[in-house]
Amino acid sequence: MGSEIMATFAQRYPDKVSSLVLLNPAGVNEKEERFSLGGRFVGSGIKTSAEYSIRSAFSGEKDYEKEIWKHIPKTESPFARGRGSQRLSEVNRLSEGHLLEKIKDTKCPITYISGQLDTVYPPGGESDENSQLTRVIKSVGDESRIEKSVMAGLRHNTTIAPDEITAANIEHYLEKAEIEIKNEKEQRKKKIIALTKELGEIQESIPFSGIDPESYQKLKANDVELEGLCTPIDDLIQRFEKEGIKVVFGNDPESGNVFILPLGSDDVESDSVFPKHLQIDESMDSRLKELILASRS
C-alpha cells in the first residue's frame, strides 16, 4: 500500500515532493474480487519463501541473514493470527483501487519499478493496453514524466531477491541512467552551440547585464591564484560596461566551449568569462538568457 500512500502525499503536498517511486504498486485495478487478490498475495508469498529457503540451503545467505537479524528488532509475522484483521483491512483497501486517480493529479517525475515475475500485480507490457504498466503510464499522462523499470527474475517482493539478480538489475538500471545522462549532455551541448552561432552573428555589442554575485566572489578568488595570467575581473567588468560583450567559441567550436569577451578583444585566454558567470536580466536577449541557463545546468 506504500505507493498509494506516497501518491496521496504527493497529490496533497506537491511542494514537498521532488519525485515519486512506485515499487510493485498495488491498487491499480478500480475494483477487484477480494478472495482472488488475497489468494494471489498468499501464493506469491509461498513461492518467494520456498525459493528463498532453497537458496539459503545451498548458499551463504542463511549465515548472512543470521548476522543481519542481530541488528534488526524482532517483528510479528505478517501472517500471525493477531494480524489477521490488519491483513483483511489491507486487502479490502487494495481491492478498491485508488492509485491511478492519485498519480493522475501529481506533478513530479515518477519511477515505476516492478518484478517481471510478479503474479500479484503483473506489470505486463506497454503493447498491451490493459496491462498495469500501460494503465499507469496513461494515468500519468505525460510519458516523459515517468521512468519504467521491469526487473527481470523478480517477483512481487523485489526487495527479497538473490544477490546476483539484484546486482544485475541494478547494473542495468545504472547503465540506462548513464546513457540518459550522456544523451542529456549531448543535447545541452548542441543547444549551446546553436545559441552561440546565433549570438555570434550579431555585429554590434550585446549589453552587459552584470556578473552573478556568487560567480563574482569566485572570480575575485581566481584573481589572487592566477595573478598576472589573466585580466582582473574588476578591470574586465569596466571593459564589459564600456564596450559591451560578444559571445565566441573556443578553438574547437564543436566542443561546446563558449566564452564572453569585451567587444574589442579576441584574447580568450586573458579577457574572458564563461556564460554561466553572467547575471540574468529579464530584459536581455532571450538567446543569451537561454545560453546562460544551459551553461549552468
Distance CA 162, CA 194 (A): 48
Q: Map out the domains of the chain as residue ranges.
A: 2-161, 185-296
- pLDDT tens, 153-202? 777 776 666 666 667 767 777 787 788 888 889 999 999 999 999 999 98
Measured in whole angstroms, the distance separating CA 98 from the mean position of its chain's CA atoms is 25
- Residue 217 cell numbers, joined: 566572489
What is the model's pTM? 0.54
Q: Give the containing element (helix H, strand E) for 70.
A: none
Whether the CB-CB separation of 273 and 211 falls below 8 Å is answered with yes
Helix, strand, coil percentages (3-state) for the chain, rounded to 5, are 55, 10, 35
Helices first, then strands: H and E counts in the chain: 10, 5
Class of the CATH-defined domain 2-161: alpha beta
Residue 271 backbone dihedrals phi, psi, to 5 degrees: -110, 25
Which residue has 506516497 as its cell numbers?
6
Which residue has 501529481 as its cell numbers?
106
The Cα-based distances of 266 to 219, 260, 263, 293 in angstroms read 20, 10, 8, 24
Q: Determine the residue type at 125.
A: G
Q: Determine the residue type at 292.
A: I
Whether the CB-CB separation of 201 and 248 falls below 8 Å is answered with no
The Cα-based distances of 17 to 21, 50, 109, 111 in angstroms read 11, 38, 9, 13
Task: Work out the widest C-alpha separation in the chain, in whole angstroms.
Answer: 84
- pLDDT tens, 121-151? 777 777 777 787 888 888 888 777 888 778 7
Q: Is the pLDDT of residue 286 over 80?
A: yes
- pLDDT tens, 74-95? 666 655 666 666 666 666 665 5
